[in-house]
Amino acid sequence: MRRVDNTMTTARISVVGVGGGGSNAVDSMASHWENGPSLIAINTDGQALGATRSATRLQIGEPLTRGMGTGGDAKIGKLAADDAFESLQGLFRGMDLVFVVTALGGGTGTGAAPVVARSAHETGALVIAFATLPFQFEGERRMAQARQGLIELQDQADVVIVIPNQALFAAAGPDATAGEAFRQADYFLGMGVFAIWKLLTQRGIINLDFATLRMVARCSGGTSVFSYGEGKGPTRVADAIEAALHSPLLDNGKALAESESILVSILGGPDMGVREVESIMSAIEGVARKEAHIHMGTAIDDSWQDTLAITLVASRFWRGEDEADDRTLADLSEEEGATVTAATPKKKKKGGATQPQLILESISKGIFKDVEPTIVDGEDMDVPTFIRRRISVDK
């Protein structure tokens, strides 16, 4: 756990909602936040875009859709974003962290979000995507389209945090209406983004800086899940633990036990003490695997007096820091600035990078183990694509 307090308070962060669902979620954040990160809404539907409260609005695919949306066709969403690629890069230039928030299943969110993530990534930002999967009642077609979009989004973002809406339905109770369920989804999405943003910008008992977040993001593989729990009053700690750990989003806690990496954010008022943080952490360590990489940070906000919220981001896959790509470590050393000379971590990286890669090859080449490898641009194509891209596959 790193406790270096550096430039995190000045990290440039933007939150971009893609498509109708994504824009709605960002919208609900806008109404709760003051002095929050810059909010951007991107949509093909001009009318829906006009109604958002985001500071920046970008309509894409205008000639393609005549401003009428994609009609649920992800192909059109993708084309629209492709055409606007340069404007997208302009939006993200200079950003350190971009949250891409989207509801997968529809046309714009599914098709455009991967392109938006790629454009942000190419400008050098860390990209954390929050994506909801459709409710069952939205139909099998949307679900299939959403799954396809998820694969593509995983390809482009550093981390994709998945929120299966159907699980929220279970949480909302048997009588919940569709409208309530959607609002609940928006609220959870908003809180997820809010918690990470707070973590980076607010001073706490234990700080989690941007470099650590980036390391966690790049080392965690593919799809991640997240949960959120809050509590108020004297039982706030126990309530928040109960809600976060047994959230339906974590498959009632099962996902946590299978995770290789867990990011914990604790948000509280000035009355939050070390003892409370400790009891939260020991509850999490109690369910997590022994070898799991747990990173934690706290944020204190004056308006959160007597209130506490826990946000967990759990990933099933972790590759060692040594294996993370060159850029990560080079950037990390930059981040550390004057205290560390650039040469030291670079040297370490070279030594560390070769060995884990060898292990990876021997276990994951199957029938191509003994034949001349197919190397394209330095990548060993005999290793399955899903392993090289660190994408988790439903077994």
Partner 1 sequence: MGLAPIVALEIGTSKVIALVGELREENHIVITGMGEHSSSGVRKGEMVDFENARICVKEALGAAEETAQVAIHQVHLALCGGNIQSLVNRGTIPITNTKEGVTQDDVEQVTELARSVTLPPDRQVLHSIGQIFYVDGERVARPDHFDCSTLALDMLLLHAQNNHLRNTVRLLRNDLNIDVADTAFGGLCSALAVLTPEQKEGGVLVIDLGGGTTTFTAYAGGIFAAAGAYAIGGDHVTNDIALAFNVPRSQAEQLKKTDGNAIAETPDTRPPRIALPAEVGYPGRNVSLSGLQTVIHLRMSEIFQLILRDIERRGIGHQIGAGVVLTGGGAQMKGLIKLAERIFRTPCMVGRPMGFSGLAAATEKPECSTTAGLLRYAFKNATGGRRRRPVLESLISMFTGR
**Min. distance of Cβ 265 from partner 1 in angstroms?**
29
359 lies in the binding site for partner 1 (CB under 8 A) = no
Burial of 287: CB neighbours in 10 Å, binned 0-12, 13-18, 19+: middle
Q: How far is the CB of 359 from partner 1 (least distance, A)?
A: 15
CA–CA separation, 189 and 227 (whole Å): 10
Closer of 282 and 385 to partner 1 (Cβ): 385
| Tokens describing residue 57 | 């609005």
Verify binding: residue 368, partner 1, rule CB under 8 A: yes
395 residue type, one letter: K
Which among 5-13, 38-46, 127-135, 140-148 is the span making contact with partner 1, rule CB under 8 A?
Answer: 140-148
Stretch that binds partner 1, among 31-39, 213-221, 231-239, 363-371 (CB under 8 A): 363-371
Of 63-71, 125-133, 136-144, 232-240: span binding partner 1 (CB under 8 A):
136-144
Q: Biggest alpha carbon distance in the chain? A: 65
**Rounded Cα distance, 15 and 189, in Å:** 11
* Residue 372 engages partner 1 in binding (rule: CB under 8 A): yes
Give whichever of 29 and 383 is closer to partner 1, judged by the CB atom. Answer: 383
Location of structure tokens 């799809």: 223
Q: Which of residues 142-181 bind partner 1 (CB under 8 A)?
A: 144-145, 147-148, 151, 155
Cα–Cα separations (whole angstroms), residue 72 to 129, 188, 247, 270: 21, 24, 30, 46
Q: Which of 208, 320, 194 is nearest to 264 (CA)?
A: 208
> What letter represents residue 31's amino acid?
S
Q: Is 384 in the site for partner 1 (CB under 8 A)?
A: yes
Residue (69 or 77) nearer to partner 1, CB: 77
Under the binding rule (CB under 8 A), the answer on residue 381 touching partner 1 is yes
Q: For residue 289, give the 3-state DSSP assignment.
A: coil
Q: Decide if residue 374 touches partner 1 (CB under 8 A).
A: yes
When the beta carbons of 285 and 380 are compared against partner 1, the nearer one is: 380
CA distance 147 to 104: 8
Nearest to partner 1 of 93, 389 (CB atom): 389
Interface residues for partner 1 in 66-85 (CB under 8 A)?
Answer: 75, 78
Tally of residues, the chain: 395
Least Å distance, CB 63 to partner 1, is 16
On the 0-12 / 13-18 / 19+ scale of CB atoms within 10 A, 77 is: buried
| 50: its two tokens | 């006009």
Q: Does 366 bind partner 1 (CB under 8 A)?
A: yes
Q: How far is the CB of 244 from partner 1 (least distance, A)?
A: 28
Residue 287 sits in the site that holds partner 1 (CB under 8 A): no
The mark string for 33-72 relative to partner 1 (x by CB under 8 A, - otherwise) is ----------------------------------------
Q: What does the radius of gyration of the chain's CA atoms come to, in whole angstroms?
A: 21
Determine if 89 is a binding residue for partner 1 (CB under 8 A): no
Rounded distance between C-alpha atoms, residue 365 and residue 346, angstroms: 29
Number of residues that bind partner 1 (CB under 8 A): 31
Half-sphere exposure of 256 (CA within 13 A, CB side): 25
- C-alpha distances (whole Å) from 121 to each of 114, 236, 376 are 10, 38, 22
Q: Which of 86, 140, 291, 302 binds partner 1 (CB under 8 A)?
A: 140
**What is the token pair recorded at 321?**
């820091």
Nearer to partner 1, 114 or 229 (CB): 114
- Contact residues for partner 1, defined by CB under 8 A: 75, 78, 139-141, 144-145, 147-148, 151, 155, 364-368, 371-372, 374, 376, 381-382, 384-387, 389, 391, 393-395
